[in-house]
Amino acid sequence: MPGRISKEDRATGDLTDAIANVLGLDEPTGMTAKQREIFGLMAEWVSGPGIDPDGAMMSLQRHIGNYWRSGMLIMLQSGSYRPSAIRKIFGALNPDRPLSMRILSLNLKMLEYDGLIERIAIPGVNHVEYQLSPFGHEVAKQVISLGKWIGSRVELVNSARALYELDN
């Protein structure tokens, strides 16, 4: 079907012909080198072999884009914390957006499942703490870098929104 990428094309991982078709090109040679590079990356990240909605690539993207999980990754760069301390820190930083114990627990489990944090049982007491895994430290550094970059461009977004509002 023209304009759509088949499951078979997605399964092979070679989407050049399919994307050329979607763009209305007779063959992939009509694409620029930049288009081939960008669509190759998109295919790998979004629909390549082994990519599924519950797969590692999509899961990590969801962690980075999630308010609570990205905040936890940043927070745990400073050390290990008990769940109650994590909740209190979020509450102190943004009292208008409370973190329930249920949401905290679910998010900690998701980060632990993907190997970004480690659950540490404290010997002799009935307490646990969470800390970043080595992989979690890598991801947290990237989240911090992205956050700094986004923060330095807030005025660009605000200006674009103001212009949009004037036109719409």
If asked whether residues 63 and 32 sit together in one domain, one would say no
Residue 2 lies in a domain: no
Domain residues for the domain of 127 are: 56-167
Whole-number pLDDT of residue 6: 61
pLDDT digits (tens, 9 = 90+) for 105-145: 999 999 999 999 999 999 888 899 999 999 999 999 999 99
Label the pairing between strands 117-122 and 127-132. Answer: antiparallel
Whole-angstrom distance, CA of residue 141 vs CA of residue 116: 12
Phi, psi (deg, nearest 5) at residue 103: -65, -40
Whole-angstrom distance, CA of residue 78 vs CA of residue 141: 12
If asked whether residues 31 and 60 sit together in one domain, one would say no
- Show the tokens assigned to 146: 């992205």
Phi, psi (deg, nearest 5) at residue 7: -60, -35
If asked whether residues 68 and 40 sit together in one domain, one would say no
pLDDT digits (tens, 9 = 90+) for 16-67: 777 777 777 766 677 788 887 887 777 776 665 556 666 777 778 788 888 9
